[in-house]
Every structure is written in structure tokens, then in C-alpha cells.
Amino acid sequence: MQTSEQFKQLITLYRLLDRPALEGNMFQTEATCSPDLRNLLRALWLSKKYTIELTVDGKNISTEMEDDFPELKENQSLSIKLTIPRNDKGFFYKNISEWVALAGSLKKGRIAPNTYLADEDLIVNDEQGNTEVAKVKQICQLIEQLNEVAHYHDDKQGTNAAYRLVFVVPDKDDKVYRPVILETQLTEDILRAEQPDISLLCNILQEHHTGGNNIHAIERLSVYRIALAEIIEKIPKDTKAFPYLVKHWPDVTESFNKSWERYLSGFSFNKLKTEMAKQQIEFSQKLSDIVASLSGRLFSLPISIAGIVLLEKANSSLANWAYLLGSLLVSYMVFSAIKIQQENLENAKASYAMVFSEIDKEINEKNSSIQDELRKVKDRLSTTFSKLKCKLAFYSFIAWLPLLVAIIYIIVKDDQLILQIIEQLHRNKNDV
């Protein structure tokens, strides 16, 4: 907020009177009237914002009594007593230490407008070069930011009381939550501490409010709360909490950076685990499809073999040779299908090796947990590949069973036919 014109006139008057000593929120002095002094007194008198008491020629007149402003002559002696009410109309403090100790608004991170520091001879809102004032302003900004980070604050003790900021954070097992409380009570110690660097906190809150391009905005704020709570809980009980926090503010930043690195490591770990699980499911599905596509053809094998029953009833040489040809076709077709699936298996294995080599590149060598997980996934898939390869080899063998059975059957049946012919010839010879 900007400084009001009346307050600027008050400060100009105070300086014109050579900055008399303050007595609480009041000052008084003897002066000789001048045009500038008379004009300033009249303007402040008519504004009715401050209590002014003048003694001129032994006569007391006051704004409090609603007296009219007197006619003052140049070089006329007068006594001036002026009281500042310490509200939004103006605050006078002896020095910066008294300001920090008494200004209730500072405890809530707010700098009241129209604030003047007598020893430093400066209006706070208009000051740019004083390092201690800049430090107080930075700390007020810090209180405002902490108020945003906190889950809630207890404001029951009045406007000028300190905040009781409450941060609700999980215990180590993440099952129970507990409150961590910080009172923003200021002391002169904050003037001796280094000015806190709150740029990280400002960036986190900005990301949280705007969303930005950071998908971890909410997580960063949560991790920051936990890091902040850890430092607050380390504050000795016989120490003012907020000045201690300001003094050890670099510890908060360091704690957050370490916690955030741990979070990102865990996030990367879970992300890679999810990716590995996805790849494992995809390859398992491919392998399942390889077996499923052969099921129908494999069922044709026992059906082909069972055809011998019909041949026995037919008892025909032509049927036997037709069965042999059909068995050859069935065996060849099944074998060809198995051969194709063997090639598909090799292709899937090559893809698996390539995908997991890429995942392996993303893994930090120091992260033994994710390496162990990857090794387990690769071992399980390798075992599955080996088993399926053996099954396909076995299927390749049994694919030729119908043909083998047909050949044996034909040989057996043909042997019986030859014996019958020989026996018939022998009978004919005996008849002759």
C-alpha cells in the first residue's frame, strides 16, 4: 500500500522539528513558527487524523477539544505535542528493533502502511536501500508463503497475534498423520540472521497454483511440507521457533533437495517396474498366442490316427493308399504351422532382448533394487521361452505321427495280402 499524503506531511513536520525524541507514540517540542511549519500544522489539524495540542502565548488549544486552528505569526514561539494513534493512519517506532518487537502485523507477514522508523529516519514502504528493512520484508514474504504451505492456521488470538501454522504430515509408516505447529512470533534475532533465500519455495507455490509444465507440482509441495516439518520438529523447546527457522533456513532447502531426490528415484523405480510389467504381459500374450494358434491343428493328429478304424471296416487297398496320402498332407500341414510358430518365437525373443536392453540403459547402476527386479523379469521370460521352444520341438515330432502310423498300417496290411496270395497259389498247385 502507498503512503498517504497526510502521513507524508506528518513526517515532513517531524523532520522540520529536528526529529524530537519519541515518548511511546507521542512527541513534543518547542518551536518557532515559520510559513512551512504553519502550513504543515494547519493541514494536519484540518485532516483530524492526529491529536495535536498547541500552546501559544500560554493558551492551550487542541484538536481533541475541536478547537479552531489558531492564527500563528512568523517567529512566534509555540509548544507542539502530537500523538500518533498507531492504526492505519500511522505508526511511529523508535527504531527497527522496536518495530519488529511491537508491530503485530509483521507476525502475519504484513507490513502496515504509513510506518515510520525514527532513528533510521525512513518510511518503511518507501524505503529501498536499508538492508535490515529488506530483511524484514523478505521474512514477511516468507510468513505469507508458509501460510500458503500450511494446511491451516489458528487465528483465534486476534489480528495482531502470531500465526499458529499447522502442517499435517505422515509418520514414518505413512499410516498415521500428526500435526506440526509453527508460531510466527518474531524477535530481534531475525535481524542478525542471514536473509533467507525463499526462491525455491516461491517456485513450488507458483507451480502449484498455475500447474505450469511440472507434472509433479502437488508432489513437490507435499515433499516440501514434510522437509519443513522435519526441521521444525528439531527446534529446541526453549527456543523461539520462527527465529530459529529463519536462522536455519538453508537446512530446509537441503532437506527438501535430498527428499526430492529420493522421491524421484522411487518414481523412476515404479515407472520402470510398470514398464517392465507391461512388456512382460505383452510378451507373455504373444507366447500364449503362439501355442493357442496350434491347438486346432494339433487336435487333427489323433483324429487322423483314429481313421484306421474305418479302414479296417472298408478293407480296401485303395482306401489304405488314400489314407496314407491324407496322413501325409495332415502331417505336413501341421509341421509347417509349427515351423512358422517357431520362427515367430525367435522373432519375439529378439524383440524381447531389444526392449529390455533399452530398459537396462535407463537403470542407474547404483539402483540395485530395480536391477534385481529386471533380472527376475528377464529370467521368467527366458524360462518361458525355453519351455515353449521345447514344446514346439516336441510338437514337430508328433506332427509326423499320422504319416508314421499310416505307413506302418499299410506295411502290415500289405504283408497279410502277400501271404494270402502265396497261400492261394500253393493250394492251386496242390489241386493240380
The DSSP result for 153-212, as a single string, is EE-TT-TTSPPEEEEEEE-TTSS-EEEEEEE----THHHHSPPP--HHHHHHHHHHHH-T
| Angstrom distance (rounded) from CA 326 to CA 265 | 63
Name the amino acid, one letter, at 368: S
pTM listed for this prediction = 0.60
- What pLDDT does 96 receive? 92
176-199: b or e for each residue (b if 16 or more CB lie within 10 Å)? Answer: eeeebebbbebeeebbebebbebe
- What pLDDT does 366 receive? 44
* Model confidence at 39: pLDDT above 90: yes
Q: What percent of the chain has pLDDT over 70?
A: 73
| Angstrom distance (rounded) from CA 91 to CA 359 | 65
Confidence class of residue 385 from pLDDT cuts 50, 70 and 90? confident
CB 101 within 8 A of CB 18: no
For 171-202, what is each residue's pLDDT tens digit? 766 667 888 889 988 888 888 888 888 899 88
CA-atom Rg of the chain in angstroms: 48
As a whole number, mean pLDDT of residues 352-358 equals: 67
User: At CA 174, angle to CA 170 and CA 178, rounded to 5?
Assistant: 25
* Model confidence at 371: pLDDT above 50: yes
As a whole number, mean pLDDT of residues 201-208 equals: 86
Cα torsion 44, 50, 54, 60 to 10°: value is 130
- What pLDDT does 427 receive? 62
Alpha-carbon distances of 6 from 20, 27, 141, 241, rounded to whole Å: 19, 17, 27, 38
- What pLDDT does 250 receive? 92
For 223-270, what is each residue's pLDDT tens digit? 888 889 888 988 998 888 999 999 999 999 988 888 887 776 665 555
> Which has more confidence, 292 or 261?
261
When the pLDDT of each residue in the chain is averaged and rounded to a whole number, the result is 79
3-state secondary structure of 122: strand
* Model confidence at 47: pLDDT above 60: yes
Closest to 307 (Cα-Cα) out of 413, 406, 397: 406
